[in-house]
Chains A and B, each alone.
Chain A
Amino acid sequence: MISQKTILKHPLSVRIFHYLLILSFLPLAVTGVFLYFKPLSESAMNLTMQIHVVAGVVLTLDAIAFFLIGFNRVVLFLKRIFYFSINDIKWFAILGGYPQKILLRKKVVVPSMGKYNSGQKLFGICVLIGGTILIFTGWILWALPHLMPREAVSLLGTLHTFFAWVLTLFLLVHLFLGIYMFDDFKAMILHGKIPYDEAKEMAPLWVEKEIISISENSY
């Protein structure tokens, strides 16, 4: 029984935020890895750093803009990623059924999830905290390393490197799963909509508790 009903999962504002995030974070991650290993010539390293800085500024402006324009969505996001239940432990115990599904082509019963599953929540927390720290430390390391206390800058440098690696490694997972879940990929990259039935299977709690029909709402 396939219906054509869809849910608007990612409104335009979220999609624009995400486009800019792709545009800034991918170059940041790539140049960051280069800056860490320093394999290039002097002028190439300089160019790498310049790209890193420009992308960092774009990322910062993107984050600030989304904070100001879509503050209600930020709050919603925070509420979701920091809401845990016993289901999350069960979810992590079987890693959301993904290894079984991808490697063994076997379907296991997965605990009911909200809009984000437990893995996505963890990713969300890391992106939120790590991203904030990366932006904050990045600006200081760029603009203020001469006047901040030496040990503070050193600590910020270590934090920057640590969270950069965490997020870069998470990014690889996110890219893989993001494309693997093709409906979600289309929703985020193209039109924002996700099939109702798909959502009901992947995020039953979300559909059950938070989704309303437009007709109910507007008429």
Chain B
Amino acid sequence: MNVAAKTYQKGEIPGVIAIKASACKGCDACKRHCPTGAITGSFGATHSVDVDSCLSCGQCLINCPFGAPYETSDTVDEVIARLKDRNTTVVGIIAPAVRVAIGEDFGLPAGSLVTGKLYGSMKKAGFEILDNNFAADLTIMEEGTEFIVRARHAVFGEKSEHGAEIGPLPQFTSCCPAWVRLVETKYPTLIPNLSSAKSPQQMAGTVAKTYGTKVWGKSAEKIYTVGIMPCTAKKLEASRPEFNNAYEYNKKNGRALTDKPYPDIDTVLTTRDLSRLFKKLKINLAAEKDADGGSLLADYTGAGTIFGNTGGVMEAALRTAYAVLTGEELKPLEFKPVRGLKGVKSASVKLKDTKYNKEVTVNVAVIHNIAENIKPVIDEVLSGRSPYHFIEVMNCPGGCINGGGQPIYGNGSSWLGAIRPLFAWK
């Protein structure tokens, strides 16, 4: 079926989203939510997914009124088998957006914050917890520092301490795998602008199988990492073959027990998948008692948790970059201009770089719902006229909280644009 896939490396899931022909009514609703026009099939005929254009973002899946798109990768039963295996430490890596959405699958109102109940349910199911918010904090340390290095290089001509190549401005965030894939498949000249920092999920996987071996006292081979994500594209991201840094590191340092390579993230469950897993194990999240994370890898800050909102990565990065550059905390911490559902949000921050004792202005932009909003911003960057230094991009409307792996909220739609009819024809 996917023999023609030309934009995937060996070992990658060639497209997480497919369309069930029997359920498709050919109504074209999905095409309006697709960021890349990857859905083929004329109006009235059954649709299918062009895997080479597809970002695996899953917006078609959560917005199809007839439930035609589905995920090609489903590992719920595999994870249950691992949970039952006493020799394996199954580490659940919970993304920020999961905790405000999974309650919906257990009858709680939309937006219920259920971190404690989620921890409790996961422990009951047999997971160790690595909160991805911890990895988000780690991402901010890496990505924020990277931005400071890039900015000082661009403004003051500072050289890298490590002799590494310093990427150009504007720096794009790299947390969103759909966005990364859009750059890789459509705008390869922008690859240097992408932050080289891995996404929180991949950092978490690497940390779990390196530093985590100390935390849980298990060898990396016995640790099974499960990304629990609001996102279908994360399934594709986890399958990228280069993401086995923990194995490479352990092998190099003589800590690999066998020659069998293992990925940083063994598998990914979406929020919906996790709900199904709980239901199969007869765990009712809504009735579960609150629990805490149980290890230092579950510690997180407010900056890590807002990663799930559009503008959240930028706000978290600004809080840290501001403190590093000026030596003072940002006041107030809430950076309102990057919040909300406006398509392209931009802001300027004036601050004093204490190292050079100079006033600098940082222009930032936040883009979500790339189906509608990415084009003009990318064109500006490609033509070299972009006023921005740091740009956060998230594929889904509203950010990860409305990701393709989230519970499908029946009484709503991802459409953020003007209320206008579109008359499908071809």
Residues of A within 8 A of B (CB): 35, 38, 41-43, 45-50, 52-53, 141-154, 157
When distances are taken between beta carbons in the complex, the residues of chain B under 8 Å from A47 are 44
Asked if B422 and A146 sit within 8 Å, CB to CB, the answer is yes
When distances are taken between beta carbons in the complex, the residues of chain A under 8 Å from B45 are 38, 41-43, 45-46, 49
Bound together, the chains give a CA A84 to CA B28 distance in angstroms of 44
Bound together, the chains give a CA A34 to CA B33 distance in angstroms of 27
Identify which of B168-176, B243-251, B352-360, B405-413 touches chain A. Answer: B405-413
Residues of B within 8 A of A (CB): 25-29, 32-33, 41-46, 62-67, 408-413, 415, 417, 419, 421-426
Asked if B412 and A149 sit within 8 Å, CB to CB, the answer is yes
Chain B CB within 10 A, most for which of A35, A46, A47, A146? A146
The 3 A-B residue pairs with the shortest CB-CB distance in the complex, in nearest-first order: A49-B44, A151-B410, A153-B65
When distances are taken between beta carbons in the complex, the residues of chain A under 8 Å from B46 are 38, 45
Output the least CB separation between B37 and chain A (Å).
14
Chain A contact residues: over half helix, strand or loop, or mixed? helix
B413: contacting residue among A43, A48, A50, A150, CB under 8 A: A150
Bound together, the chains give a CA A157 to CA B41 distance in angstroms of 20
Bound together, the chains give a CA A154 to CA B411 distance in angstroms of 11
Bound together, the chains give a CA A142 to CA B43 distance in angstroms of 10
Output the least CB separation between A76 and chain B (Å).
34
Output the least CB separation between B316 and chain A (Å).
31
Bound together, the chains give a CA A177 to CA B149 distance in angstroms of 84
Which single residue of chain A is at the shortest CB-CB distance from B425? A50
Asked if B415 and A146 sit within 8 Å, CB to CB, the answer is yes
A157-B413 contact, Cβ under 8 Å, with A50-B425, A143-B422, A150-B64 = no
Q: A46-B426, A145-B27, A149-B412 are in contact. List 8 more A-B contacts (CB 8 A).
A: A35-B26, A46-B43, A50-B425, A145-B29, A148-B413, A149-B410, A150-B65, A157-B65
CB-defined A-B contacts under 8 Å, sample of 18:
A35-B44, A42-B41, A49-B43, A49-B44, A50-B43, A143-B422, A145-B27, A146-B29, A147-B413, A147-B419, A148-B413, A149-B410, A150-B409, A150-B412, A151-B65, A153-B29, A157-B25, A157-B65
Bound together, the chains give a CA A212 to CA B27 distance in angstroms of 52
Asked if B41 and A143 sit within 8 Å, CB to CB, the answer is no
When distances are taken between beta carbons in the complex, the residues of chain B under 8 Å from A38 are 26, 45-46
B26: contacting residue among A45, A144, A148, A149, CB under 8 A: A45
Chain B CB within 10 A, most for which of A43, A49, A154? A49
Output the least CB separation between B253 and chain A (Å).
50
Asked if A157 and B42 sit within 8 Å, CB to CB, the answer is no
Bound together, the chains give a CA A153 to CA B27 distance in angstroms of 11
Asked if A146 and B33 sit within 8 Å, CB to CB, the answer is yes
When distances are taken between beta carbons in the complex, the residues of chain A under 8 Å from B412 are 149-150
Count of chain A to chain B residue pairs whose CB atoms are closer than 8 Å in the complex:
89
B423: contacting residue among A42, A52, A142, A154, CB under 8 A: A142
Asked if B415 and A147 sit within 8 Å, CB to CB, the answer is yes
Which single residue of chain B is at the shortest CB-CB distance from A154? B65
When distances are taken between beta carbons in the complex, the residues of chain B under 8 Å from A146 are 29, 32-33, 63, 413, 415, 422
When distances are taken between beta carbons in the complex, the residues of chain A under 8 Å from B63 are 146, 150
Bound together, the chains give a CA A53 to CA B26 distance in angstroms of 13
Output the least CB separation between A110 and chain B (Å).
44
Bound together, the chains give a CA A46 to CA B27 distance in angstroms of 11
When distances are taken between beta carbons in the complex, the residues of chain A under 8 Å from B421 are 143-144
When distances are taken between beta carbons in the complex, the residues of chain A under 8 Å from B422 are 143-144, 146
Asked if B65 and A46 sit within 8 Å, CB to CB, the answer is no
Asked if A142 and B424 sit within 8 Å, CB to CB, the answer is yes
Chain A CB within 10 A, most for which of B408, B410, B417? B410
When distances are taken between beta carbons in the complex, the residues of chain B under 8 Å from A45 are 26, 42, 44-46
Bound together, the chains give a CA A41 to CA B26 distance in angstroms of 13
Bound together, the chains give a CA A129 to CA B25 distance in angstroms of 24
When distances are taken between beta carbons in the complex, the residues of chain A under 8 Å from B426 are 46
Asked if B44 and A48 sit within 8 Å, CB to CB, the answer is yes
When distances are taken between beta carbons in the complex, the residues of chain B under 8 Å from A141 are 25, 27
When distances are taken between beta carbons in the complex, the residues of chain A under 8 Å from B424 are 142-143
Bound together, the chains give a CA A9 to CA B417 distance in angstroms of 51
Output the least CB separation between A50 and chain B (Å).
7
Output the least CB separation between A31 and chain B (Å).
9
Which single residue of chain A is at the shortest CB-CB distance from B410? A151
Bound together, the chains give a CA A170 to CA B32 distance in angstroms of 36
Output the least CB separation between B352 and chain A (Å).
46
Asked if B44 and A157 sit within 8 Å, CB to CB, the answer is no
When distances are taken between beta carbons in the complex, the residues of chain A under 8 Å from B64 are 150
When distances are taken between beta carbons in the complex, the residues of chain B under 8 Å from A151 are 65, 410-411
Output the least CB separation between B113 and chain A (Å).
23
Bound together, the chains give a CA A148 to CA B29 distance in angstroms of 10
